[in-house]
Amino acid sequence: MNLSPKFGPLVAELLSGLTALFLVYIHLHGLSFTGIEELPSGAIIPLAVLAWISGTFFDVIRNLFVEWFLDHIANEKVNWDFFFKGDRERLENLESYFWSFYLLDSDMAIAIFFATVLTIFIPHGFLDLRWRCGCVLVALVFAWDAISLRKEIKGHIAL
């Protein structure tokens, strides 16, 4: 049994966390990157850890709330047992072509939405209503693709 972490979920967590941090940074500092350039090189490690923790939090939100909603309320239940009992080759194909992208899309949608809402409570920022609407639109596109991928995953598992 291979218990090593998969690359796709780790990337989804890190990228979604970095995206949320980046949106909050833009809100606080605008599109000027002098604040980032002035950081000591040792600050990269705590920022990466903070991004990973944030991204893992967004993944937890997906696991606890989004999956539960889709499985129980939206009546789109996925056969999660396939990930433990399914044919190894089909599972590897599913992870490579659908699952990793589903995680990335759903985590990104949650991260962008969360960061956009958070900026509402941070006064005197650079993200105005147009920026926030644009961010929400991007989050909705990620969410739409995630839902589409989840339906494809459900279909491939049912085969």
Expressed as residue numbers, the domain containing 127 is 7-158
**In this structure, is residue 50 part of a structural domain?**
yes
pLDDT class for 37, splitting at 50, 70, 90?
Answer: confident
DSSP codes, 25-40 = HHHHHTT--HHHHTS-
**In this structure, is residue 2 part of a structural domain?**
no
Mean pLDDT in residue range 78-90: 90
For 50-60, what is each residue's pLDDT tens digit? 999 999 999 99
Give dist(CA 159, CA 143) in Å, integer: 25
Is 0.95 surpassed by the pTM of this model? no
User: Is residue 5 over pLDDT 80?
Assistant: no
Given this model, what pLDDT does residue 33 score?
Answer: 87
User: Quick one: three-class SS letters along 75-125?
Assistant: CCCCCCCHHHHCCHHHHHHHHHHHHHHHHHHHHHHHHHHHHHHHHHCCCCC
Q: How many domains does the chain divide into?
A: 1
**In this structure, is residue 136 part of a structural domain?**
yes
